């Protein structure tokens, strides 16, 4: 574990630490790494009380804040499982100082056009995790500063889906969904010694992003700040845990096994948490040092000769922990307005460390090479209730043979819901009713002229009716109305013979 962080990384982590200290006890996730570069950019260009407050929030003087902010963005941009982007949008009517404009990386500054362009930028630089920009611009918006970061990693050792039943704590009393795995890396588990000890388990990603799981008896602020202090080495992390060690959600004992390998058994619920923060609200404005910069005045002479003040600030951030990996993203923005294989079966004595997160817990997503806390959060909500599959609801009784289940009765088929047959059988023709005299067939397009009546022949003696074969199918009637009885009507011609046509 790295014991000394780079100044810009330590400053960003300290901002995350203070933010977690004022967060609520419900589910939340924050990204100080997304806010801190913007504070550095604004502190370097501010003046008066606004500069003093921004320097205090950034944790360094404004003279070095700009270079440190750009260095942090470069650190995140060069990572494998982490990327970051900086964006600046300027209203066409706002003049900019050439010195400040030249200090920004190429391709960072663009014209402020519409909300759709900002949404597209957020969607592209978070790989679709955050599709909307957290701030809405209006006619008074002169300048927008924003960062976007995204972290995605796959686990070095995968989890399997299972369930657990907490025996104590706020989640006690129900069976909930969980993820479980067993590895041999006992050093991934540690006890952080404080007045209230905290259990930490590091879940390693395949590249350079890990997730630190934190569990303790203190408040969310106490647990998370303890985990962040361990990143800088301010708190010792004990990874050598002898048999008999007990911590929050953790036990170390000795067992007998056929495999000569120590085990770290980890179980926790998956989580998906998202938060939206008003950075200029009454709860956070002082934390980020923007209180003075929000008042009317000329607070940023380093950016523009025109008076500017901060009028909005927001962050949209999310984090997801699944069986396959972890992903997190954050978009942070401030806007300014005008200042106005098994071994042989041999028994071995092994050490088994079991960590179960069956009560509210915290987490940190950490860039391993630098120790930067990408996001920090707390999971307080009860996990989703576990519903066993149908085959698990009736377990077999030992010593009894399992009987084949009875075949279910077929459900009655609704007459209107039957699926269409690909090749329906042709309907069987029905014999025509007996008629003493065949009726003249109808013309395909209706009568063109009136036919003379047919004289009735003499009535024969009654005879038994014989079924008449099905008549020749008649062509369908045209979709248009019948024409007038005129020999000049198109498609209407008088019959050549006044007698009815014979289709037999």
Question: What pairing do the DSSP bridges indicate for beta strands 237-238 and 271-278?
Answer: unpaired
> What is the reported pLDDT for 463?
55
> What is the reported pLDDT for 257?
87
Give the 3-state secondary structure of 441-486. Answer: CCCCCCCCCCCCCCCCCCCCCCCCCCCECCCCCCCCCCCCCCCCCC
pTM for the model: 0.71
Q: Which two tokens stand for residue 378?
A: 């707390």
> What is the reported pLDDT for 444?
41
Instruction: List residues bridging with 317 in a β-sheet.
Output: 275, 330
In order, the DSSP letters of 285-341 are TTTTT-TGGGSSS---TTT-SS-EEEEEEEEEEEEEE-SSEEEEEEEEEEEEEE---
Domains by residue range for the chain, with CATH: 7-154+272-339 (3.30.497.10)
3-state secondary structure of 2: coil
Q: Is 140 exposed, middle or buried (0-12, 13-18, 19+ CB in 10 A)?
A: exposed
Closest CA to 103 of 331, 303, 300, 301: 303
Counting Cα atoms < 13 Å in the Cβ hemisphere of 438 gives 15
Q: Give residue 112's Cα distance to chain centre.
A: 28
In 366-458, which residue ranges form alpha helices assigned H by DSSP? none
Find out whether 237 and 36 touch, Cβ atoms under 8 Å: no
Find out whether 181 and 159 touch, Cβ atoms under 8 Å: yes
> What is the reported pLDDT for 340?
73
Give Cα separations from 153 to 76, 274, 316 (angstroms): 14, 18, 20
Contacts of 100 (CB under 8 A, 6+ apart): 45, 302, 303
Cα gap 96→101, rounded to integer Å = 7
Q: Which two tokens stand for residue 342?
A: 């098994």
Instruction: Give the neighbor-by-neighbor strand order of the sheet with 246-247.
Output: 160-164, 176-183, 263-268, 348-356, 250-257, 246-247
User: Left, alpha or beta for 249 (phi > 0: left; psi -120 to 50: alpha)?
Assistant: left
**Block residue for tokens 């909930």:** 176
pLDDT in tens, the chain (504 residues): 445 799 999 999 999 999 999 988 899 999 999 999 999 999 999 999 999 999 999 999 999 999 999 999 999 999 999 999 999 999 999 999 999 999 999 999 999 999 999 999 999 999 999 999 999 999 999 999 999 999 999 999 999 999 999 888 888 888 999 999 999 999 999 999 878 899 999 999 999 999 999 999 999 999 999 999 999 999 999 999 899 999 999 999 998 888 888 999 999 999 999 999 999 999 999 999 999 999 999 999 999 999 999 999 999 999 999 999 999 999 999 999 998 744 456 677 777 777 776 678 777 778 878 888 877 787 788 788 777 776 655 454 444 444 444 444 445 444 444 444 555 555 555 555 555 444 444 444 344 444 445 555 556 555 555 555 444 555 554 443 444 444 443 434 444 455 555 544
Q: Which two tokens stand for residue 292?
A: 């003075």
The distance in angstroms from the start CA to the end CA of the chain is 99
Counting Cα atoms < 13 Å in the Cβ hemisphere of 225 gives 17
The phi and psi torsions of 40 (rounded to 5 degrees) equal: -65, -40
């Amino acid at each position: 574990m790295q014991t000394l962080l780079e100044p810009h990384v330590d400053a960003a982590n300290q901002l995350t630490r203070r933010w977690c200290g004022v967060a609520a006890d419900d589910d939340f996730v924050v990204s100080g790494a997304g806010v801190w570069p913007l504070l550095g950019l604004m502190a370097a260009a501010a003046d008066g009380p606004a500069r003093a407050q921004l320097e205090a929030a950034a944790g360094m003087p404004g003279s070095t804040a700009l270079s440190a902010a750009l260095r942090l963005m470069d650190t995140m941009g060069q990572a494998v499982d982490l990327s970051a982007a900086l964006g600046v949008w300027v209203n066409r009517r706002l003049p900019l100082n050439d010195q400040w404009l030249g200090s920004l990386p190429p391709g960072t500054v663009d014209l402020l056009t519409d909300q759709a362009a900002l949404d597209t930028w957020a969607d592209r630089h978070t790989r679709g995790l955050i599709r909307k920009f957290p701030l809405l611009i209006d006619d008074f918006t002169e300048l927008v500063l924003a960062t976007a970061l995204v972290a995605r990693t796959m686990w070095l050792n995968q989890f399997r889906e299972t369930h657990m039943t907490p025996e104590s704590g706020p989640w006690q009393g129900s069976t909930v969904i969980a993820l479980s795995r067993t590895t041999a890396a006992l050093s991934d588990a540690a006890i952080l010694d404080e007045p209230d000890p905290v259990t930490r388990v590091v879940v390693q990603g395949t590249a350079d992003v890990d997730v630190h799981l934190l569990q303790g008896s203190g408040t969310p602020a106490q647990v998370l700040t303890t985990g962040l202090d361990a990143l800088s080495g301010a708190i010792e992390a004990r990874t050598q845990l002898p048999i008999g060690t007990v911590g929050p959600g953790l036990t170390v004992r000795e067992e007998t096994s056929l495999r000569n390998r120590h085990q770290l058994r980890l179980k926790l619920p998956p989580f998906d948490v998202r938060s939206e923060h008003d950075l200029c609200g009454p709860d956070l404005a002082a934390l980020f040092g923007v209180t003075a910069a929000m008042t009317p005045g000329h607070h940023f002479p380093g950016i523009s000769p025109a008076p500017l003040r901060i009028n909005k600030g927001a962050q949209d951030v999310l984090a997801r922990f699944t069986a396959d990996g972890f992903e997190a993203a954050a978009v942070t923005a401030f806007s300014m307005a005008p200042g106005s294989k098994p071994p042989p079966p041999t028994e071995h004595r092994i050490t088994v460390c079991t960590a179960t997160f069956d009560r509210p817990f915290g987490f940190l997503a950490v860039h391993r090479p630098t120790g930067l806390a990408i996001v920090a959060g707390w999971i307080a909500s009860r996990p989703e209730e576990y519903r066993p599959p149908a085959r698990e609801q009736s377990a077999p009784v030992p010593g009894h043979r399992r009987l084949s289940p009875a075949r279910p009765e077929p459900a009655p088929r609704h007459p209107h819901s039957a699926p269409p047959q690909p090749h329906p059988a042709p309907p069987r023709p029905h014999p025509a009713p007996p008629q003493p005299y065949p009726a003249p067939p109808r013309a395909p397009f209706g009568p063109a002229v009136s036919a003379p009546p047919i004289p009735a022949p003499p009535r024969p003696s009654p005879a038994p009716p014989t079924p008449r074969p099905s008549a020749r199918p008649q062509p369908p009637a045209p979709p248009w109305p019948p024409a007038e009885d005129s020999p000049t009507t198109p498609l209407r011609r008088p019959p050549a013979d006044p007698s009815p046509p014979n289709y037999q």
